[in-house]
Amino acid sequence: MEEKTVHVLIDGATSDLTFSYLIPEGLDVAPGQRVRIRLRNRPAIGTVTSIETIDTANLGYALKPIDGVVAEEPFLTPGLIQLARWISAFYLAPVETVIRSMLPKPSRGEHEKRKKEKFVELTAAGKNHGNSGEKLTAKQGEVLDLLQEKGALSLAALTGEYGLSRSSIKSLETRGFLEVGERIVNRDPLRDVEYAANSALELNEEQRVVLDSILEAGKKIEAGEPVKPILLYGVTGSGKTEVYLQAIQETIREGKGAIVLVPEISLTPQTADRFKQRFADIQDQVAILHSNLSEGERHDEWRKVLEQKARIVIGARSAIFSPMQNLGLIVVDEEHENSYKQDIIPRYQARDIAVVRATIEKCPVLLASATPSLESWNNTLNGKYDLATMSKRVDDQKLPLIRIIDMRLESKKVQSGPAILSTKLRQSIEERLADGEQTILFLNRRGFARNILCPECGYVANCRHCATTMTLHRGDDRLICHICGFSQLPPTRCPECSSRSIVNAGYGTERAEEILNKVFTDARITRIDTDSMRKKNQLRDTLNAFRAKKIDILLGTQMIAKGLHFPNVTLVGILNADVGLHIPDFRAGERTFQLLTQVAGRAGRGELEGEVVVQTYTPHHPSIQHARHHDFEGFAEQELLMRRQFGHPPFQRMVLVTVRSVHQERAEFSLKTLHARLKRELPEGMSLTEPLPSPLVKSHDQWRFQIILKGANPRRMAAHIREVTRDLTFPPDVIVTYDVDPYSMG
Ligand code: ADP
Ligand code: ZN
Ligand code: ZN
C-alpha cells in the first residue's frame, strides 16, 4: 500500500538516528517540522527531515504513526535543514545537535512554551446589550462600552490600566455578556519605545559604489549568474552602517528579507535603535535578538520571524539561523570579531556560515569591517571574495592622531603601585576636563589586581580547579577565577609562609577606577564592565548618561570598544595595550591590532578632532606600530607573510583535538591512542603535531591535552577524523572535542 511517511531525526541521541513514521490521517506535516514520536515505546522528539511516499506493504514490518506535532508550522526552512547538514559535516557535530542549536530553547521541547494571557471579549449578547433591557450597574456598563469600543482586551489591562474590578467582569461573564479566553501573546521588549523615523542620508561617492555593488550582486543572482561574497573594508566612521541600512531598505522594497549579524558585544541598545529608527514605519517587522532579552522575549522575536512578520533580523551569532524565507541579503558587521565563533558544540563560525547560507538561499552576502579578518582579506587576494573599500571618514574627518607611550619609562616614575597613567595621558585628560570634552579609557581586564602574590616566598594565589591565577575583586572582596568562576576570600597573610606582606600584582578596571578617582577628584567617572553592569538596563542608562554629558570619563573593558558613537569624545586612552599580546596564540597580534584600531575609532567622531593615547611596554611591536599609522594593509601584508612561513591559517587550516578528563593519565593516554590512529593513515597533505598539554592544562578540575591536525582542506580533515574515530570509544570520564578552524588554542 502506498503511504506517506516521514524521516524523523531523533533528538538527543549520541549520534544521528533517523527512523520512518507514518503520517496519521488529518495531520499536515512538512520537512523541518518538529514532531512527537515513540521510540522503543518511549516518548521522544525529533525533526522531520524529508517526506516520502513508499509501499509499506513490502517493508516486512509495521511503521508507527507520529504522535503529534510540536507546533503547526515547521521551525526549519528547507534551506536551514541543508545548512544543518553542511555544518554537521564540516564542524564534526551530529546534525541533531546542530538543529537543536538553531532553535530557541522554549521551542525545543515536547510542547513549545508560549506566553498566554487571559483575554476578555464581548459575546453576541454583550454586543447587543443595549437592546436586551437587562439592568446593569454603572461599572458594568463601563466595561461593556469599553469592549465595544476597543474589541478584545486583556484581563490585565482591564483591571490594571482601565481600573475596572474583577467582580464586575466576573458577573458580566456569568450573565453571558462576555467571554474570558486565553490567547498567545508575543512579548515585545521595545513595545513602549516610540521611534522617531530617520530617513536615508545622501550617500557619498564611496558609499554609493558599495551600495551599487550589493544591489548589482542581487540582480546577477536573479539572472542566474554566479556572484562572490563582498568584503567591505571601510575605516571606522566611513558610514558602513548607513550602507547596510540602505541595502536593507532596497531588499525590503523588493519583498525580500534581510539578516544582519553583529557581534554580541556591539549589539548595544544604540545599534538596535539605529535600525529601529530607520525602519520606524515598519517597526514591528524588525526583530532584535540580543542576549539581554529574556529567553521568552528572544523566543517571541524568533517567532515573529518564523511567522514571516519580521522581515529584518538584527542579532548575534545564532541569528544566522533565523527561519526567514525569501532571504534577499545577509550582512555580517565587524566580520573579524571572534565572538562569531561558537565555543561549544557545534563549534561553527557564523561569518563563514553566513557565506554558506547565502549560497544556499541564493542571496548576496556582505562582510564588513575596519579591520577585516586575515581569512577574509586573504580571500579577496586569492579571488574568492570581491573587495569593496571605503577609505574616508564621512565628511572627510581625519583619523585620530595616535600617540604611543613607552610605559617602561613611565613605570620608573611611580613610587609605588602599578603605573596606570602616563604623564601624557594625565595631561590629555586634564585638558579634556577643562574644555568640557569627554574621555574613554580602555582596559581589557576586569577586577582589582591581576593576582596576588607573596614577595617573601613567591606564593601566587592559583585557582584550585584550574591552572591559572585568581583575580582580586575588591568590590566583592573575593579572589575570583575568570575561567571557572570559583571564588574565595583573599588571604590577609601568605598561606605558605604567613608573611603579611602580600601584594596586589597588576591592575584591572576596579583598581584603575580607584586611582582615577584619586587623580581627577572633580571628574565624573564611571566604570563599565560585567561586574559594574549587572543590573538590567544599567548599560543602556550609563551610555545615555554619557551621551548626555553627565559623565566625563568612561572607563571600560571591551564592552565599550565597539560600535559606540559619541560626538563629544575627543580622547581615547588605552591603559595597557599589551593585555592579550603575549598569549600563546597565533592570532594574538591580529587581535591586538584590531582592538587598538577599533578603540581608536571611538575618538573624534563628531566635529572635534580626536586623539588616542596608547600605553604599552612593547612600543615597537608591529601590531602597535601598524595600528598607530592606521595601516591595515601594511599589517595584513606582514602578518600574512609570517602566517605563510609558519603554515598558520589561512594558508593551512587546523582542527584542534582536545582530550579532557579529571584523571590526568587517562586524558594523556586517550590522546596518545587517538594520535596513533590519526597518524597511521594520515592522508597526503595533512600533518599532525605531537600530543601536548593545552596552554590551559587544567580547567574546571579537568586535565587537558591536545593535538593539532593541519592541512589545506578542512572537509578532508574532518572526514579523516570521522573515519578514524568511527569505532573508537573512550572511557566515560574522557571527553574528546574537535574544533575545526579554532579561535582559542585552549
Ligand atoms: P561606520 O559603521 O563605518 O563606523 P557609520 O555608518 O556609523 O560608520 O557612520 C558614522 C556617522 O556618519 C554616523 O553618525 C552616520 O549617521 C553618519 N553618516 C553616514 N553616512 C553619511 C552620509 N552619507 N552623510 C552624512 N552622514 C553620514
Ligand atoms: Zn609567602
Ligand atoms: Zn578556576
Q: Which tens digit of pLDDT belongs to each residue from 44-53?
A: 999 999 999 8
- φ and ψ at 604, to 5 degrees? 60, 50
Mutate-to-test residue for ligand 1 from 207, 242, 598, 607, highest number of ligand atoms within 8 A of CB: 242
pLDDT for the residue 659: 97
**Ligand with smallest separation from the Cα of 567:** 1
242 C-beta closer than 6 A to ligand 1: yes
Residue 696 alpha carbon to ligand 2 centre in Å: 25
Q: What would the mean pLDDT of 315-322 be, rounded to a whole number?
A: 95
Q: Specify the DSSP element, H or E, that contains 38.
A: strand 34-39
- Residues 568-591: what's their mean pLDDT? 89
Cβ of residue 238 lying under 6 Å from some atom of ligand 1 = yes
CA nearest neighbour of 503 among 457, 446, 445: 457
Give SS3 for 96.
helix
**Given pLDDT bands bounded at 50, 70 and 90, which one contains residue 710?**
very high
Task: Dump pLDDT digits (tens) for 694-707.
Answer: 999 999 999 999 99
Alpha-carbon distances of 670 from 81, 679, 703, 726, rounded to whole Å: 34, 14, 12, 15
The cell 555593488 sits on which residue? 213
Cβ 277 under 6 angstroms from ligand 1: no
Residue 277 has pLDDT above 80, yes or no: yes
Ligand with smallest separation from the Cα of 503:
2
Q: Which domains does the chain have, with CATH numbers?
A: 2-107 (3.40.1440.60), 116-184 (1.10.10), 205-395 (3.40.50.300), 397-448+507-642 (3.40.50.300), 653-740 (3.30.70.600)
CB of 270 closer than 6 angstroms to any ligand 1 atom: no
Kindly state if the Cβ of 241 falls inside 6 Å of ligand 1. Answer: yes
pTM of structure: 0.88
Give the residue, by CA position, lying nearest to ligand 1 atom 13. 239
Least confident of 2-6, 578-582, 609-613, 717-721: 578-582
User: Can you give the pLDDT at residue 534?
Assistant: 87
pLDDT at 270 over 60: yes
Nearest atom (ligand 1) to Cα of 601: 4
With a CB cutoff of 8 Å and minimum separation 6, the contacts of 534 are: none
Torsion of CA 474, 480, 482, 484, to 10 degrees: -160
Quickly tell me which residue has 594565589 as its cell: 461
**Does residue 142 have a pLDDT over 60?**
yes
371 touches ligand 1 (CB under 6 Å):
no
pLDDT band per the 50, 70, 90 thresholds, residue 26: confident
- Please tell me if the CB atom of residue 198 comes closer than 6 angstroms to any atom of ligand 1: no
Q: Which atom of ligand 1 is nearest to the CA of 245?
A: 6
Residue 390 Cα to ligand 1 middle (Å): 12
CB of 117 closer than 8 Å to CB of 155: yes
Which of 283-297, 442-456, 510-524, 641-655 bottoms out in mean pLDDT, i.e. has the lowest? 283-297
Spell out the residues 6+ positions from residue 553 whose beta carbon is closer than 8 angstroms to its own: 429, 438, 439, 440, 441, 516, 520, 523, 524, 525, 526
Q: Tell me how far apart the alpha carbons of residues 742 and 555 are, in angstroms, rounded to a whole number.
A: 31
Q: Considering only 113-117, 271-275, 728-732, which range has the smallest mean pLDDT?
A: 113-117
Mean pLDDT value across residues 26-33: 93
Look-up of cell digits 560626538: 567
pLDDT recorded at residue 152: 80
Provide the pLDDT for residue 60. 79
Q: Is the pLDDT at 391 greater than 70, yes or no?
A: yes
Give the per-residue pLDDT at 606: 66
Q: Which atom of ligand 1 is nearest to the CA of 243?
A: 6
Q: Which atom of ligand 1 is nearest to the CA of 370?
A: 3
Ligand nearest to the CA of 491: 2
Nearest CA to ligand 1 atom 20: 239
663 strand-pairing partners:
none
Handedness of CA 376, 382, 386, 387 (dihedral sign): positive
Q: Return the best residue to mutate from 202, 335, 390, 394 for the ligand 1 pocket (most ligand atoms within 8 A of CB).
A: 394
> Per-residue pLDDT for 265 more than 70?
no
pLDDT at 337: 93
* Phi, psi torsion values for 661, nearest 5 degrees: -165, 155
Per-residue pLDDT at 190: 57
**DSSP-based three-state secondary structure for 497:** coil
Q: What is the DSSP string of 336-349?
A: T-GGGB-SSSS--B
Q: Which residues are found with C-beta within 5 Å of the ion, ligand 3?
A: 463, 465-466, 481, 483-484, 486
- pLDDT tens for each residue of 144-203: 888 888 778 888 887 887 777 888 888 888 888 888 888 777 666 556 666 777 888 999
**Residue 266: predicted pLDDT:** 64
Ligand 1 and 526: CB distance under 6 A = no
